[in-house]
Amino acid sequence: MKHIGLKIIAFLVGIGFWFYVVSDRDSTIEINAPIVYMRLPETMAIASRPPLSLPIKIKGRAIDLIRLKAGGKEAATIVIDLHSVELGVQQFSISSENFSAPNFPQVKYVTPEHTPTVEMEFDTRIKRTVPVRLRNVFEVDPQFTLIGTPQPEPDTITIAGARKALTRIFEITTKKERFQNLQGDQNLSIALDMNTLPPYVYASDTMVSVKLQIQPLQRTSFQGIPVQLIGSYDHKIYSLLPATATVEVTGGKGVLSKIRQNDIQLFVEFNRFAIEDADSLEPTVRIVHPVQSFQVHPEKFYLKKENPLERLPDSNATQTPPEAKN
């Protein structure tokens, strides 16, 4: 037992010496190296889906290989220079000249028996402006109402990429997201769904903002609103009964405070009575301001027709009695 300490020290020294000898030897391993595409001319664009990585073999001291793998994906890469590419499909042969591991100069690329290649297609780079479409659901609290239709800002996005790819893109959408129990005005930032774009197509923005005008819900009645009979008809004979109505409007408190009597229009087209073969019809309602709903009282209006003969004067009452001639 008195030599247990020396035994432990000797064991640790032996392990350290073994690790030093092993780590100093050259080894070969396989890694999945990311591909870096660089120096693409501004007038050109990638029109295909080239690989993002390539399996390769590298060799070096074991300790360097361990450190390289611990350094992450960017520690060793395959670099493809695109400065002299032309339109169409091209192939790039991968060799030691494409291998880059700047922090590990002693690590080398192992040339395989069959030279690997990367095939790519190139097209003219263009720009295009497309509209943004919201795919979001905005649900307000039951005691509130949403004023108007939500619109993105900006409502268009500029995209850039290969001509063939951009001609097939007609819009860019937001990511699907549901907003619930909203109260009061909101200014939301919403992400665009970049996954809907082809590879190597870039957008000028990745986010849009949406301003929501949300007001407390309120109900107001407007009485004595005239109901107009419109179209081609004899105004002396035809009219609507009753001639006025009460309109009950439900909407945002701020919006309802701006509505006046003349902001509400009620009318019935004269020819609808003949087309629908009805003696009473619901009126068409137009309200200048955006509201949630409305209800008209009464719901229907009758077409009143006066008898023209009743409007003629009584002929007997205007004739001169025979006795008066004498």
Q: How confident is the model at residue 15 (pLDDT cuts 50, 70, 90)?
A: low
Q: What pLDDT digit, counting tens, does each position of 308-321 carry?
A: 665 555 555 445 55
Note the CATH number of domain 125-216.
2.170.120.40
Q: How confident is the model at residue 326 (pLDDT cuts 50, 70, 90)?
A: very low
Note the CATH number of domain 218-310.
2.170.120.30
Note the CATH number of domain 24-124.
2.170.120.30
DSSP, collapsed to helix, strand or coil, labels residue 211 as: strand
d(CA 228, CA 322): 49
**Phi, psi for 25 (deg, rounded to 5):** -80, 155
Q: What pLDDT is recorded for position 325? A: 45
| 118 pLDDT higher than 80 | yes
54 alpha-carbon distance from chain centroid: 35
Q: What pLDDT is recorded for position 298? A: 96
Going through 12-167 in order, the beta strands assigned E by DSSP cover 26-38, 44-46, 53-61, 77-81, 88-93, 99-100, 108-110, 117-133, 137-140, 144-147, 152-153, 156-162
Q: How confident is the model at residue 306 (pLDDT cuts 50, 70, 90)?
A: confident
Q: What pLDDT is recorded for position 81? A: 97
What is the CB neighbour count within 10 angstroms for residue 184?
Answer: 12
Burial class for 268, CB neighbours closer than 10 Å (0-12, 13-18, 19+): buried
Residue closest to 68 by CA, chosen among 17, 19, 31, 16: 31
Q: Which helix (H) or strand (E) holds 10?
A: helix 4-23
| Domain map (residue ranges) of the chain | 24-124, 125-216, 218-310
Query: What one-character DSSP code corresponds to residue 192?
Result: B
With residues binned 3-state (H G I as helix, E B as strand, rest as coil), the percentages for the chain, rounded to 5, are 20, 45, 35
| 2 pLDDT higher than 70 | no
- Which residues, 6+ apart, have CB-to-CB distance to 14 below 8 Å? none
282 alpha-carbon distance from chain centroid: 38
What is the CB neighbour count within 10 angstroms for residue 19?
Answer: 12
* Strand bridging mode 88-93 / 117-133: antiparallel
The residue assigned the tokens 């006795």 is: 323
| 153 pLDDT higher than 70 | yes
- Which residues, 6+ apart, have CB-to-CB distance to 6 below 8 Å? none
Token pair belonging to 72: 């992450």
For residues 302 and 279, is the Cβ–Cβ distance under 8 A? yes
Q: How confident is the model at residue 324 (pLDDT cuts 50, 70, 90)?
A: very low
Would you state the torsion angle of the CA atoms of residues 98, 99, 100, 103, taken in this order, to the nearest 10 degrees? -160
Topology match between the domains 125-216 and 218-310: yes
Q: What pLDDT digit, counting tens, does each position of 186-209 carry?
A: 999 999 999 999 999 999 999 999
Residue closest to 24 by CA, chosen among 71, 56, 61, 59: 61
Q: What pLDDT is recorded for position 307? A: 74
Q: How confident is the model at residue 111 (pLDDT cuts 50, 70, 90)?
A: very high
d(CA 24, CA 33): 24
Per the prediction, the chain carries an average pLDDT of 89
In this structure, the chain runs to a length of: 326
d(CA 47, CA 168): 13
Report the percentage of the chain scoring pLDDT > 90.
Answer: 80
The DSSP line for 62-73 is HHHHHHHHHT-G
Q: What pLDDT digit, counting tens, does each position of 43-99 carry?
A: 999 999 999 999 999 999 988 898 998 888 889 999 999 999 999 999 999 999 999
Q: Which helix (H) or strand (E) holds 9?
A: helix 4-23
pTM, full prediction: 0.68
State mean pLDDT over 250-270.
Answer: 94
| 232 pLDDT higher than 50 | yes
Report the percentage of the chain scoring pLDDT > 70.
Answer: 87
